[in-house]
């Protein structure tokens, strides 16, 4: 998730294990679909057998006709998928706009791109994917020079750049596997710059292997950590080994692995219980070493998103010493910051918009801690200490602002940004003079800057040469009222001069959950849609973090309907102001945003012409029983609880499909490699919607055998997936 994450006796009906017949392709007559100039010949979708399974929730009987599709490995499910893949391919081969989207996306995606670097001395470590390559490699660059500097459109940034001509490729995923969907990520660099921790991921799975690389010898070390979900991996100060936190469904555990020893002998340092309190699956644990190597800091986040965060630490200069308390047992969130022997925290304790406190270790209550940066009217999104200064990143109506403070809390400046956009927090080590940040927007590809904390000077580190002329596009922010009168912000972007007479296509996306703020980020997907001539919109729905914890809470548990109502109100605003009309209105969302799409198609099918529903949560009565679902009960609740069942049942998309309804065109999108949100949701919903919709619009299941929830697929795979998505949405929102 742009994101993250009781007794089964409530299921009173006995389990049914039906013998399923293979799904048969319908022999109904071929229908013609004319959309946006495309003449698509498509038969009725493959038939899927309805095999009723009845569960009873607190006296309410619920029938599930497609429970058998939860078994991903069964012969019946694989046969169903084979037919669905062929059916979707048949559609896409007739979408005449697809080659044009694919060509534009290839130009937007296949550009040289960088990640924000990690500086160690005069060396810079980062990942870079060269134009034409399928995956990014890990590079090292040396020194800083004004040569090769790209021209900047930002008035505040001087035209200088790292000498990219001296970049040296250290780790190339193509040398690790012939599978182009094998990717690498830079996880950590030792303080002396001699060792690297990097991850290797297959496709879009969450799990990754962890490897270690010697920069001097230019070789990977022989040992590694197996493919798992790792919350953190960090070097011991003496480089004798690594601390790692690994997630399991029984709980997260922190280990120390000494180089040259067997993994089975790794020492368990933290987990299972602390201070007599058991730690379990809902308690996500990470462990990081402070920049000076003095302490191992363990953070325990209770649930996804966490309502309570505990922090303990161990003095690494005293081997075998116990963990001491920084904060424990307070129902608020705390993020640790450490510099020069002092502890600081970013917290929403008695401050929903966030503030910075100087912490007193040893179990002292936070009421006794000194306020360094007080709560303001704008939400405090992130905080970092670089160059012994505090860089506070806030969202002012979802637009980035960064203020600089001394460690005593005196404001001493700010970082200026050029127009509406999203800036990352400044990254760097506590005592480093330089830090790095990126700035981007829907109509501006990301540029990475180096910031001098001593002088305030900004220089460009990396800027992609993307074939997208930002000057031809406009990005603005509007505000509208939701169903209950709440004022909601929304970004709207498109080509300058685009008509507002209701005739243009418009693509809107949304999320609204897990305290995640949806900021105006660059995405080749949205850029390609706008380049084709469509409007793009993003409303900032409740449930996110755009206005602090109070905003988040308005979209949780029984208030989840607010998220959906905010989304519908955004659509009604855009239609009323003639950006588009319902027939030309496309919507798209993934993960928790896929749940939003499911609610939109079942609650307001009249508002939209086409819906792309990616990696979605849809059967909300059963989500908690699969993959990481149990973690998300901290956001949604669980139908296993009597108090939660009524409101979840009311909006759960899978239980609210009404046979005989004229639903919009729908594409469900998922894949076998999604190990976060189980693909069963899309499989079941596609079968149910195909059998229920009577509007004559296509209902497709786009199912990949490689793609998954996380990043990591090849550039070619990404282009294909994006082209399929946009071709479907553009075709289905054309003239009708």
What amino acid positions are annotated as catalytic residues?
A: 591, 709
* Three-state SS sequence of 268-320: EEEECEECCEECCCCEEEEEEECCCCCEEEEEEEECCCCCEEEEEEEECCCCC
Cα distance between residue 303 and residue 381, in whole Å: 19
Cα distance between residue 450 and residue 456, in whole Å: 10
Longest dimension (CA), the chain: 77
How is 244-256 classified by DSSP, letter by letter?
EEEE-TT--EEEE
No. of H helices and E strands in the chain? Answer: 10, 42
Cα distance between residue 190 and residue 239, in whole Å: 8
Cα distance between residue 195 and residue 180, in whole Å: 26
Cα distance between residue 524 and residue 394, in whole Å: 26
How is 539-600 classified by DSSP, letter by letter?
E--TTSSTT-HHHHHTTSGGGTHHHHHHHHHHHHHHHHTTS--GGGEEEEEETHHHHHHHHH
Cα distance between residue 98 and residue 725, in whole Å: 9
Q: Are 590 and 721 in contact (CB under 8 A)?
A: no
Cα distance between residue 565 and residue 485, in whole Å: 11
- What secondary structure letter does DSSP report for 455? T
Extract the tokens encoding 199: 């991850």
Which are the contacts of 674, defined by CB distance < 8 A and separation ≥ 6?
A: 204, 205, 615, 707, 708, 709
- What secondary structure letter does DSSP report for 74? S
Cα dihedral 279, 282, 283, 285, rounded to 10, equals 120
Question: Which of 300, 307, 326, 306 is closest to 315 using CA atoms?
Answer: 326
Q: Are 188 and 197 in contact (CB under 8 A)?
A: yes
β-bridge mates for residue 480, sequence order:
488
Question: Which of 227, 337, 230, 354 is closest to 284 using CA atoms?
Answer: 230
Half-sphere exposure of residue 556, counting CA atoms within 13 Å on the CB side? Answer: 19
Q: Which residue has the tokens 């599709």?
A: 69
Extract the tokens encoding 331: 């129902």
Cα distance between residue 494 and residue 501, in whole Å: 14
Q: Are 667 and 98 in contact (CB under 8 A)?
A: no
Which are the contacts of 17, defined by CB distance < 8 A and separation ≥ 6?
A: none
CA angle 371, 375, 380 (to 5 degrees): 110
As a whole number of Å, the CA-based R_g of the chain is: 26
What's the start-to-end Cα distance of the chain, in Å? 35
Hey, how many other C-beta atoms are within 10 angstroms of the C-beta on 396?
Answer: 11
Cα distance between residue 500 and residue 536, in whole Å: 13
Residue 591 — left, alpha, or beta (φ > 0 → left; ψ -120 to 50 → alpha)?
left
Total count of residues recorded for the chain: 736
């Amino acid at each position: 998730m742009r994101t993250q994450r009781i007794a089964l006796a409530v299921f009173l009906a006995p389990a049914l294990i039906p013998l399923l017949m293979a799904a048969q392709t319908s022999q109904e007559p071929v229908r013609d679909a004319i959309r946006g100039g495309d003449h698509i010949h498509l038969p009725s979708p493959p038939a899927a057998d309805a095999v009723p399974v009845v569960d009873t929730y607190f006296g309410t009987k619920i029938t599930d006709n497609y429970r058998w599709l939860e078994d991903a490995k069964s012969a019946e499910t694989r046969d169903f998928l084979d037919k669905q893949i062929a059916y979707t391919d048949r559609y896409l081969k007739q979408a005449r706009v697809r080659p044009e989207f694919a060509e534009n996306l290839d130009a937007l995606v296949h550009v040289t791109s960088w990640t924000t670097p990690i500086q160690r001395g005069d060396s810079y470590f980062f990942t870079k994917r060269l134009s034409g390559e399928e995956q990014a490699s890990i590079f090292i660059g040396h020194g800083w020079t004004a040569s090769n500097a790209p021209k900047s459109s930002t008035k505040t940034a001087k035209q200088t750049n790292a000498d990219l001509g001296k970049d040296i490729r250290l780790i190339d995923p193509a040398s690790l596997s012939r599978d182009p969907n094998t990717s690498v990520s830079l996880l950590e660099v030792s303080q002396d710059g001699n060792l690297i921790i990097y991850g290797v991921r297959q496709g879009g799975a969450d799990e990754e292997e962890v490897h270690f690389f010697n920069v001097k010898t230019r070789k990977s070390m022989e040992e590694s950590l197996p493919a798992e979900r790792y919350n953190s991996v960090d070097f011991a100060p003496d480089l004798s080994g690594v601390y790692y936190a690994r997630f399991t469904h029984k709980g997260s555990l922190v280990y120390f692995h000494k180089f040259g020893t067997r993994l089975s002998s790794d020492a368990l340092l933290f987990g299972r219980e602390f201070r007599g309190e058991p730690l379990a699956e809902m308690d996500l644990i990470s462990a990081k070493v402070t920049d000076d190597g003095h302490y191992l800091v363990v953070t325990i986040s209770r649930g996804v998103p966490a309502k309570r965060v505990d922090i303990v630490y161990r003095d690494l200069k005293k081997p075998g010493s116990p963990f001491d308390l920084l904060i424990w047992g307070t129902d608020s969130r705390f993020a640790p910051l450490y510099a020069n022997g002092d502890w600081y925290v970013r917290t929403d304790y008695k401050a929903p918009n966030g503030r910075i406190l100087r912490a007193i270790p040893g179990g002292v209550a936070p009421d006794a801690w000194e306020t360094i940066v007080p709560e303001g009217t704008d939400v405090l999104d992130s905080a970092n200490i670089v160059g012994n200064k505090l860089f506070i990143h806030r969202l002012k109506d979802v637009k980035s602002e960064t203020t600089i403070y001394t460690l005593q809390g005196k404001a001493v400046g700010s970082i200026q940004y050029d127009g509406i956009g999203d800036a990352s927090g400044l990254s760097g080590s506590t005592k480093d003079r330089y830090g790095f940040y990126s700035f981007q927007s829907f109509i501006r590809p990301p540029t990475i800057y180096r910031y001098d904390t001593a002088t305030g000077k900004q220089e460009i580190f990396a800027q992609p040469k993307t074939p997208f002329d930002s000057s031809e596009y406009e990005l603005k922010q509007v505000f509208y009222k939701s169903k209950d009168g709440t004022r909601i912000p929304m970004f709207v972007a498109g080509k300058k001069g685009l008509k507002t007479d209701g005739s243009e296509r418009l693509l809107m996306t949304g999320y609204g959950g897990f305290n995640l703020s949806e900021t105006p980020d660059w995405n080749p997907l949205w850029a390609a849609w706008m380049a084709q001539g469509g409007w793009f919109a993003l409303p900032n729905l409740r449930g996110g973090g755009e206005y602090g914890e109070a905003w988040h809470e308005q979209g949780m548990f029984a208030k989840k309907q607010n998220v959906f109502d905010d989304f519908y109100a955004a659509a009604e605003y855009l239609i009323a102001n003639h950006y588009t009309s319902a027939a030309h209105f496309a919507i798209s969302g993934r993960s928790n945003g896929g749940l939003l799409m499911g609610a939109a198609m079942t609650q307001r099918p009249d508002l939209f012409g086409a819906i792309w529903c990616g990696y979605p949560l849809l059967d909300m009565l059963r989500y908690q029983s699969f993959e990481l679902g149990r973690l998300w009960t901290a956001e949604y609740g669980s139908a296993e609880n009597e108090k939660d069942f009524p409101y979840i049942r009311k909006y759960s998309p899978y239980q609210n499909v009404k046979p005989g309804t004229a639903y919009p065109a729908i594409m469900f999108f998922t894949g076998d490699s999604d190990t976060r949100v189980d693909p069963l949701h899309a499989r079941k919903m596609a079968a149910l919607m195909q059998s229920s919709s009577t509007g004559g619009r296509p209902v497709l299941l786009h199912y990949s055998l490689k793609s998954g929830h996380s990043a990591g697929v090849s550039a070619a795979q990404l282009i294909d997936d994006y082209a399929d998505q946009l071709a479907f949405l553009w075709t289905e929102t054309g003239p009708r």
